[in-house]
Amino acid sequence: MNEGRIQKVKDWLKEKGHAFAFIHTTANVFYLSGLFTDPHERVLGVFVLPEGEPFMICPGMERTQAKAAGWTYDIVGYSDSEDPWDKVQEKLDMQGVVIASSFAVEKESLPYARGEKLQHMFHDANIVAAEEYLNELRLIKEESELETLKEAAKLADYGVEVGVAALHEGVTEMEVLAKIEYELKKKGISQMSFSTMVLFGEKAGQPHGKPGLRKLQHGDLVLFDLGVVLDGYCSDITRTVAFGDLDEKRREIYETVLQAQLKALEASKPGTRIGDLDVIARNHITEAGYGDYFPHRIGHGLGIDVHEFPSMSDNNDGVLREGMTYTIEPGIYIDDLGGVRIEDDVVVTADGYETLTKYPKNLQIIK
């Protein structure tokens, strides 16, 4: 549980005059309560009130887990045969929340039917977006969060190291992928940040290609994109290596992506307009003649969610601040030829940046 974060939400509710906030996403429940869980279709969430104590609505069977995660406030449990919303209403009544002119929920993801349940309790209330404040709060990472992100990034580096060591002629993408995840599981990782990507040759020419039974051949580019979830925090790394000697064209693509990535990294410091990182990398790639082959933004915020705020797109007018964490991941993808993407996890420091992922980036030719 994080008392400081709960207090900030309470202060926000007070300032805005909202009667309560209902926080239900795995990421934000974890951020406030320490409980990291997927309740599937069951209702689980934290109610924060401007005055008085917050409480958690939680399937009875998860109660022990919530306490073990450090939640010391009240837990309203319910069994599978009970209606959690009856319990919520009872508890809100007890807390004195009987009328509300407005309340906050995570609008982007709260199921409509659950919004209706709350609306029925408070007919005339406006429902506002809790994300507005929570996204802002999560934007700047605390020291303890950075420590965890660094450890998660180290494990991502290790995943690439395992993958590169597993390359030999004829091995399939899935064999290499399985080896990476097996070695990470042995280190205690139960969950990857997203489906691991190992792509050979022309398969690397798709930004979101699907690993399969493609066999490794000499002259292939090999793209790894992977990350782990460690204590609730994600990492996300991409490296591209060459298997056997590369032709001129593929070398040129590699060098272009690498220089674009380094330029965007160099611009990472407090005060830089966020969108400029995309612009800087894109200009470099466009000048080299590959502008049409870089079809996605330069990166995304990184933390409890593998994609979170800030969005690192060219139209983001926000500015970088110390403690922000995000990825820088330019790429060039050409059908048949293959693709190159290089991705690091970055934290903005007082006067610049630090990369959390550290696996080498000079063109590596595996013989």
Question: Could you say which DSSP state residue 241 is in?
Answer: E
* Nearer residue to Mn ion within complex by CB, 32 or 153: 153
Rule CB under 5 A: which of 92-111 touch Mn ion? none
CB of 307 to Mn ion, least distance (A): 7
Decide whether 195 or 315 has the Cβ nearer to Mn ion: 195
Q: Does 308 bind Mn ion (CB under 5 A)?
A: no
* Contact (CB, 8 A) for 223 and 340: yes
CB 142 → Mn ion: shortest distance, Å? 22
Residue 225 as a binder of Mn ion (CB under 5 A): the answer is yes
Q: Which 323-362 positions form the footprint of Mn ion (CB under 5 A)?
A: 327, 343
Closer of 133 and 326 to Mn ion (Cβ): 326
For the bound state, the minimum distance from the C-beta of residue 2 to Mn ion, rounded and expressed in Å, comes to 26
Token code pair at residue 111? 């199921």
Cβ nearer to Mn ion, comparing 10 with 297: 297
74: number of Cβ within 10 Å: 15
Closer CB to Mn ion, 214 or 341, in the complex: 341
Least distance from Mn ion to the Cβ atom of residue 174, Å: 18
Measured CA to CA in angstroms, residue 64 lies from 2, 59, 77, 89, 146 at distances of: 18, 10, 11, 23, 28
Count of H-run helices and E-run strands, the chain: 10, 19
Q: Which of residues 135-194 bind Mn ion (CB under 5 A)?
A: none
Shortest distance in whole angstroms from residue 236 CB to Mn ion: 4
The CB-of-360 to Mn ion minimum distance in angstroms stands at 17
Burial class of residue 359 (count of CB atoms within 10 Å of its CB; 0-12, 13-18, 19+)? buried
Sign of the four-CA dihedral 297, 303, 305, 308:
negative
> What is the C-alpha separation between 313 and 203, in angstroms, rounded?
25
Size of interface with Mn ion, in residues (CB under 5 A): 5
Q: Which stretch binds Mn ion (CB under 5 A): 9-17, 39-47, 74-82, 220-228?
A: 220-228
For Mn ion, the closer CB: 62 or 329: 329
- Minimum CB separation of residue 230 from Mn ion in Å reads 16
Nearer to Mn ion, 1 or 342 (CB): 342
- From the list 131, 173, 236, 345, which residue makes contact with Mn ion (rule: CB under 5 A)? 236
Question: Which residues inside 238-267 make contact with Mn ion, applying CB under 5 A?
Answer: 238
Closest approach, Cβ 300 to Mn ion, in A, equals 6
Beta bridge partner(s), residue 199: 223
Residue found by looking up tokens 């005339």 in the block: 124
Q: In what order do the strands lie in the sheet with 220-226?
A: 197-200, 220-226, 237-243, 365-366
**Of the listed pieces 23-31, 131-139, 235-243, 244-252, which binds Mn ion according to CB under 5 A?**
235-243
Piece of the chain touching Mn ion by CB under 5 A; list 2-10, 151-159, 163-171, 322-330: 322-330
Which pair of tokens denotes residue 8? 């900030």
Q: Is the Cβ of residue 183 or residue 236 nearer to Mn ion in the bound state? A: 236
Q: Is residue 220 within 8 Å of residue 243, measured between CB atoms? A: yes
Residue 9 CB-half CA count within 13 A:
31
Smallest distance, Mn ion to C-beta of residue 288, A: 22
Cα distance between residue 136 and residue 309, in whole Å: 8
Q: To the nearest whole angstrom, how small is the minimum distance from the Cβ of residue 327 to Mn ion? A: 4
Task: With CA atoms as reference, report the closest residue to 100 among 82, 119, 116, 84.
Answer: 119
Judged by beta carbon, residue 49 or residue 241, the one nearer Mn ion is: 241
Determine the length of the chain: 367
CB of 256 or CB of 325, closer to Mn ion = 325
The stretch near Mn ion (CB under 5 A) out of 70-78, 124-132, 180-188, 319-327 is 319-327
Q: Which residues contact residue 363 at a Cβ distance below 8 angstroms, ignoring those fewer than 6 apart? A: 241, 242, 246, 251, 254, 255, 258
Residues that bind Mn ion (CB under 5 A): 225, 236, 238, 327, 343
